[in-house]
Structure 1
Amino acid sequence: MPSAPESGISLSNPVIPGFHPDPSVCRAGEDYYLACSSFEYYPGIPVFHSRDLVHWTQIGNALDRPEQLRLAGARSSGGLYAPTLRHHDGRFWLIVTNVSGDGNLLFTATDPAGPWSDPVRLPGVRGIDPDLAWDDEGTCWCTVAGVSQVRIDPHTGETLGEPRRVWSGTPGAKAPEAPHLYHIGEYWYLLIAEGGTERCHAVSVARGRTPDGPFEPCPANPVLTHRGTDHPIQNTGHGDLVQGPDGSWWMVFLGVRPHGGSPGWHVLGRETFLAPVTWVDGWPVVGEATPSPAPPPWPLRRPAAVPVRDDFEGGGLAPGWISPRFRHEEDCTTKERAGWLSLRARGASLDDTDVTFVGRRQQHPACRARTLVDPAGGSGGLAVRLDERHHYEIEATADEVRVIARIGPLRSVVASRPSTGGPVVLGVETSPAREVTDPREGPDTVALGVREADGTFTELARLDGRYLSTEVAGGFTGRVIGLYASTGTVHFDWFDYEPYED
């Protein structure tokens, strides 16, 4: 790889850190757009923009209206799976599966920042992880996990003919999924993930002369996997190919960064990584994707400063804020008290599926989050959430501040102190394990406490972070740090999120 450009900016993997799995990328002129799975969270399907494939800015969420996205009753790690984002015939096309009831849905937009259309339903497309590709005659091919394929009318959702199995990956490898079909040169390439989403995750490829095959598997499959290695990035899979600004080829894919002892725990969820691709004998060869590889061979754009503080003064929430299943405007508003976010409780705690919670994905192993909360009208606070059965929170009432831990079937108040009754600054801090010498050592600790009037931070509890990991809780999501109300109405003046070097 070439040396760094004079600007001094370098490529840093993951290119989109935190809970941003199943990346799908497309190019429109000089611009790149990328979408990720969002599961049970609303709004759904975050959309990012870049000019260099390295620095990405979230420009919106594709599904941000109730008529587009129904998640009532969705279990954690249910909801929206594996979108495919494409640019074709002057429009952007997004196809995705809502596994919690609506099946496969297709949306379009002229501007990827939105608004996106109401859904076109695809009742004849059976299976998850749908892909879209058009041939030279304008026929639209939809390929799904399995791997099967059917022609569709993308405007009406009608299937044209019967689905047929085309290729199911490496014999003996489980879960062929995440298909993407491309016409590159003289071949059609079918890229899939296989091996399951855990440590055996991989990307394999086959090629054929027509979009419906027959497909010949690459003799070097899998073309990407870190299984059986001590690579710091694991669970690599679910790739999508794209050409760089100079015509070179690249792959975005998901991976995790496990930490701690055995078996290793990843707490940020599955993240989006970038690796170079070369072509040898007509097959893609995926290069190294280290945490900080050398930059690509084109000038990198200096990223805009990412705000770490939200003062809730813009009349609405930024696109990075998400909530489980739905966000009721009357329960989450910046209009009730100017410059404050007001949350009105629905569920009685984070154990409930209808809890009033707004959060942002944890994107760094070492980070601090702070908020100023006024609990005079109820109770609520600052939480680190994985799902309803796995979360830590520090909660303020008019009488006390308490730390609560929910781990599987167990729920406990682990620390408390009297409150002055007025606004209080609550804080959360995550600290990765430094030198791991014990195979039982967890990935990090989560400290919860309050900031005193003199600016010092008083830690009330420090909890083992492994219990807020996928390896313990199961599922497909990562940590989300945010604000919630458990009774009455509570108000939040500001929220800070700050990564730091541990």
Structure 2
Amino acid sequence: MNDQLVSQTIRYSNPILPGFYPDPSIVRAGEYFYLICSSFEYFPGVPIFQSRDLIHWEQIGHVLNQPNQLDLTDRKSSDGIYAPSLRYFEGIFYMITTDVGGIGNFYVTAAAPAGPWSEPIHVPYGGIDPSLFFDDDGKVYVSAQQGADYDSHVIQYEINIATGEALSEPQVVWRGDGGPWTEGPHLYKINGMYYMMSASGGTAKEHREIVGRSDNPYGPFERYPEPILTHRGLDHPIQYLGHADLVEDVNGNWWSVFLGVRLTENGYSVLGRETFLAPVIWKDEWPHIDNNEGCVKLEMSVARLPAAAPQAPGTAAGEGRDDFAADHLGPEWIFVRNPPDGSYSLDEAPGSLTLRGQAAGLGDVGQIAFAGKRQQHTLASFITCMSFAPTAEGEEAGLCARRDEDAHYEIGVLRSGDRNRVMARLTIRGESRIVYEAETEAERLLLKIEATENEYTLSYSEDDENWSSIAAGPARALSPEDFVNKMCFTGVVIGLYATGNGHPSGVPARFDWFEYQAKQQ
């Protein structure tokens, strides 16, 4: 905890992972840092990144990339994988998480962060957000959230790390600061003292990170009287801060990763909860990050030793054109739930992504043909070249901006009334309307969705030069803040899709390329 090791000023931009990358957890193994995030209903689950300098991150895969590790076929949106925690001990990586609506709490292991990762090992107790702690005496503890709302608290118990078997009965060890939703607990041992850190207040404007300390892993924990991280009292471009994890760099400096939201002036963000980075300052053996001080900024300037030799900045993984020339999709591509067998292919028509429509569509909780990337910029355009000539009623394919079943905008081609039609559909708060349709004989189209702070515009071109703008929908309707019946924990994903709208599609849709163009803010 030596913050006197200061030699130069580091400048970097927040968020370090823009777009829907919430609930970060981090470890260091040697000279590299590794970071994971929640993935909810998307497959593969738990994206994993590596970095040498904490600022520039490269995705190296997903932790849960096999159906036997993660079966999401019947998960509702914003269920599935919650708040994973990543730990490293004696050469082994451990990822523990909750499959909400599925198998509950479990962990997997790997000798290398890129995998392969083991099959799930179940643990018996806890609601959501489990975390592992390896003590000096060889004991391994699970800390997990239990209860709901103002009754939410943290339980803890010892396990056999080889089997997941509980070696002790769970004990209540932490009740937070009196606010609702004490969750995301992490137990640390730093300079001989145990620290219990958790979020409180729910993941909106009252979100905050709190901490307690004890000389015993089961407490009682003396709680620091104020949050160590929050912007709940500030008029600030970054809000909802919390759900933090700590890591020490090679120079003895401490850092924290945590979620936050960049709200628009109108109080929403289609990007969802993103991952931010800030230094940790220790005062009187307590960690401090930012309690309504405003020191977590979009542009950071930190006077301390670098974590490691800085990496060269690169283009965000989602940006640029994907020509589908490889034999696999890049790690930034994700599916809604597990993709059905045969629903996508890069081999069927080399140089393109082939999607075969399933009976389920974008408004259904089921397995659908959808492959997408997270939207990482408020101002951006997304373009694809699609070849599709449907022959059966209801066959459809196109380009979609998706939040969940209740909120999505798409532009594509639909077979309706023995005709093929270019159409635009807006689904807002669960109600879908086709707002434009026109007959077309074109079997090849360019489709485009343009995003601004206030709206999404849907356009198409039949000749690659002249564009027809056919629909627009409010951006707020795709934000997590605009949920109706069920809270939404995800940001917008831009995807290519196909569906038979009630029956499997007999005609595939082929996408020659997909282009993500970020624009200046």
**Fold shared per TM-score above 0.5:** yes
Q: Aligned AA for 1:243?
A: E
> Are 2:393 and 1:376 equivalent residues in the alignment?
no
Q: Secondary structure at the match of 2:342?
A: helix
When structure 1 is superposed on structure 2, of 227-236 and 30-39 the one drifting more is 227-236
The aligned counterpart of 1:328 is: 340
**In the TM superposition, what whole-angstrom CA distance separates every residue of 1:30-74 from its partner, at most 9, and x where no partner exists?**
000001010111110000101111111111010011110011221
Aligned AA for 2:406? R
List per-residue Cα deviations over 1:18-41 (Å, max 9, x = no partner): 000000000001000001010111
1:169 aligns with 2:167: no
Aligned length: 482
- Cα offsets for 1:162-213 (capped at 9, x unmatched): 000011111x211111001111102111110001111100000000112121
DSSP-derived class of the 1:191 partner: strand
Counterpart of 1:437 in structure 2 is none
Aligned to 2:195: 189
1:491 and 2:491 matched: no
Where does 1:102-501 land on structure 2 (aligned, <5 Å)? 102-122=103-123, 124-145=124-145, 146-170=153-177, 172-219=178-225, 221-261=226-266, 264-287=267-290, 288-295=295-302, 297=304, 298=306, 299-305=309-315, 306=317, 308-353=320-365, 354-377=367-390, 378-397=395-414, 399-432=420-453, 444-451=454-461, 453=463, 455-473=465-483, 474-487=487-500, 488=505, 489-501=508-520
The one-letter code matched in structure 2 to 1:251 is S
Do the aligned partners of residues 37 and 454 (structure 1) sit closer, same or farther apart at CA in structure 2, a change above 3 Å counting?
A: closer
Partner of 1:364, secondary structure, is coil
Contact 1:52–1:244 (Cα < 8 Å) also in 2: no
Q: Write the distance in 2 (CA, Å) between the matches of 1:78 and 1:104.
A: 13
Q: Could you tell me how far 1:126 is from its partner in structure 2? A: 2.1
Secondary structure of the residue aligned to 2:13 is: coil
How far has the Cα of 1:468 moved from its partner?
0.5
* 8 Å CA contact 1:133, 1:142 repeated in 2: yes
Counterpart AA for 2:279? P
Query: In structure 1, the residue corresponding to 2:301 is in which secondary structure?
Result: coil
Counterpart for residue 94 of structure 1: 95
State the superposition RMSD in angstroms.
Answer: 1.6
After superposing the two structures, state which structure 1 stretch, 467-476 or 364-373, moved more.
467-476
Q: Secondary structure at the match of 1:129?
A: strand
One-letter amino acid of the structure 1 residue matched with residue 272 of structure 2: G
1:349, distance to aligned residue in structure 2 (A): 2.6
CA deviation string 1:357-415 (max 9, x = no partner): 11111111111110000112452000000111110000124732111011124211112
Contact map agreement 2:279 2:302 (CA 8 A) in 1: no
Q: CA deviation at 1:275?
A: 0.9
Residues 24, 38 of structure 2: 8 Å contact kept: yes
CA spacing shift, 1:20–1:454, aligned 2, 3 Å: closer
Q: CA deviation digits over 1:233-287, x for unaligned, max 9?
A: 11111000011343211110001111142xx112111100011111000001114
Counterpart CA distance in 2 for 1:97 and 1:260 is 34
2:457 and 2:498 map into 1 onto residues whose CA distance is: 20
Counterpart of 1:308, as a letter, is: G
Query: Residue type of the partner of 1:422?
Result: E
For 1:233 and 1:459, how far apart are their aligned partners in 2? 33
Q: How far apart are 1:420 and its partner, in Å? A: 3.4
Q: Which residue identity does 1:206 align to in structure 2?
A: G
Distance 1:92 1:453 in 2: 51
Matched ranges for 1:3-18 at <5 A: 10-18=11-19
SS at 1:290 equivalent: coil
Can you list the C-alpha shifts for 1:211-238, whole angstroms capped at 9, x where unaligned?
A: 121211113x211111132111111110
Question: How far 1:329 sits from its partner (Å)?
Answer: 3.8
TM-score, length-scaled by structure 2: 0.90
Structure 1 unaligned spans of 5+: 433-443
The Cα of 1:454 is off from its aligned counterpart by 5.3
Matches within 5 A, 1:18-29: 18-29=19-30
Deviations 1:101-134 (Å, cap 9, x if unpaired)? Answer: 2011110001111111111111x22221001011
Report sequence identity in percent. Answer: 43
Instruction: Give runs of aligned pairs for residues 33-72 of structure 1, distance below 5 A.
Output: 33-72=34-73
Q: 1:36 to 1:148 in 2, by over 3 A?
A: same
**In structure 1, how many angstroms separate the alpha carbons of the residues matched to 2:131 and 2:80?**
18
1:454/1:380 CA distance change after superposition, 3 Å: closer
- For residue 466 of structure 1, give the secondary structure of its aligned residue in structure 2: helix
Given that 1:22 and 1:36 are in contact with CA atoms closer than 8 Å, whether structure 2 keeps it comes out as yes
Where 1:83 maps in the other structure, the secondary structure is: strand
What one-letter code is carried by the residue in structure 1 that aligns with 2:171? R
Contact 2:442 2:462 in 1 (8 A): no
Tell me the CA shift for residue 481 of structure 1: 0.3
CA–CA distance in structure 2, aligned partners of residues 248 and 491 of structure 1: 50
Verify the 8 A CA contact 1:342 1:491 in the aligned structure 2. yes
Contact 1:386 1:478 in 2 (8 A): yes
Instruction: Give 2:458's aligned amino acid.
Output: L
| SS, match of residue 452 in structure 2 | strand
Equivalent pair of 1:376/1:397 in contact (CA under 8 Å)? no
> 1:457-497, CA deviations, whole angstroms, 9 ceiling, x for partnerless residues?
33211211111011112311111000000232211111111
Give the Å deviation of 1:295. 4.9
